[in-house]
Amino acid sequence: MKKLITQLNCSDKSPANLSRAPFHIAGDSEKKFRINKKVQPSSWMYNQRSIGYTTNSLGFRSKNFHQIKWNESIVALGCSNTFGIGVDDDDTWCEVLSKRMNLPVINLGVPAASIEQICLMSTVLKKLITPLAVIYCWPPVDRYAEFKMPLDNNKKDFMNPSSWSNVLPNQRMKKYVFQVDWAAKNLVNIEKDRLIWNTSIPRVECSYFDIPGIEKLDIVDTARDLEHPGILSHTQTAQHLHRVLAPLLA
């Protein structure tokens, strides 16, 4: 469990031990909310609806790891679309799916995570736990990670700035390496990850982005930050995953 804790720590991207915090550093700040309010109609739901972010000691939107019965839980891996930036704790697709399945769905979404980081997390999990099932909600294929030894708390993810035209590029985006075909490399990473789990437990893949051979999820509304999937999108994702998972776990 100690190794699981050190290698999966994401508190550099998501503050640890939040308790119904009204805002989050990963794109849903109070400043951004004030800006968004100015361009939205008075009927905008978030003029009246509050949001709460609750995280564990590692920055995940889940219970602390020692409290989780992993062999009785479904694990969800992904980026901010899984974490649920811009929606309340209760409105993430992980939480909605948990209620529909009547099973714990452990939200291991990491804001700005790359496929490479998710594959590293998956490898660590495979060594240490055996959940009921694993769900992958993959980030875009052109996002990549930079690893340095030791791996513990020494990972950086880089996003293609051309994919984020509505966001001011930060230093990490400016350092993006265009000379490498990250999409091809990440498709290979996904194939390797499939071999790691093989058929030991049910494994479901989806994405809000275009990835060859992977079910694309619909974004039918936006969250409070006006960028990430909104409440209805999370609900529809949970409904879809319930239809896929229920027969696999019957």
Q: HSE (CB half, 13 Å, CA atoms) of 173?
A: 13
Domains of the chain as residue ranges with CATH: 70-248 (3.40.50.1110)
DSSP-assigned letter for residue 40? S
pLDDT of residue 2: 66
DSSP-assigned letter for residue 218? P
pLDDT digit string, tens, across residues 108-127: 999 999 999 899 899 989 98
pLDDT of residue 166: 42
For residue 22, give both structure tokens. Answer: 């009204």
How far is the C-alpha of 91 from the C-alpha of 230, rounded, in Å? 9
ω before 150 within 30° of 0 (cis)? yes
Would the pTM count as exceeding 0.85? yes
pLDDT digit string, tens, across residues 153-189: 545 665 554 554 444 444 445 566 777 788 899 999 9
Residues of the chain with pLDDT under 70: 1-5, 147-176
Could you tell me if residue 235 is left (phi over 0), alpha (psi between -120 and 50 degrees) or otherwise beta?
A: alpha
pLDDT of residue 128: 87
Q: HSE (CB half, 13 Å, CA atoms) of 221?
A: 15
C-alpha of 250 from chain center: 26
The CA–CA distances, whole Å, from 169 to 109, 165, 228 equal 22, 8, 17
Matching residue, tokens 């998501």: 14
